A and B are shown apart, each in its own frame.
Chain A
């Protein structure tokens, strides 16, 4: 079983839609969690950290469920510019070396 698993997609949604991605992790001792965004042929960039109580940044909401060992990302009112690959990253659990999921591809169409 992979340490961090994501549905690769692609998720193909119209503008204005709400879309949600999940990411599961296997190490129950993991301590920090992040969502990164990667545009085609570009470097990954931090989208948001994920906090235990959940957090929101504009149209983006991240949640952490430690009991079920997954994190989620909700995007509301999707824009064409949201088209990208979203990477789930889990850190900690005896090591500060991050573990990346393979990413979920999102395509927002007009």
Chain B
């Protein structure tokens, strides 16, 4: 039982490059979330999903896209990376209204 896993753990991009972050969970959770966390800031919700095939915007969705083609996976895409997207990205999953389980995070630097 791996819980929530994220790949990659670290990544360095140049401005304008694209990449996809993968989140996988093996707990059969309906809800999945992508957050970013910047120094001195709390967790900010980028996008979330309440079930396979559904996604919704969170607090800071601009510059990101997501897909939930399979219940266990939630992908976060950056189409054209910008230095402002340098951050730590956390994925989480949960049942509705219950505790969230977080992945270990992806540390992304955009030069």
Contact = CB atoms under 8 A, between A and B. Distances in A.
Interface string A36-52: 00000111111001000
A89 to B, nearest CB: 8
A88 to B, nearest CB: 10
Interface residues on A, range: 20 to 34
A103 B44 CA distance: 12
Nearest to B105: A43
Interface residues of B, number: 21
Interface in A24-46: 31-32, 34, 41-46
Contacts of B58: 97
Contact of A100 (B31, B42, B94, B98): B42
Interface of B: 31, 33, 41-43, 45, 48, 50, 58, 88, 90, 94, 96-100, 102-105
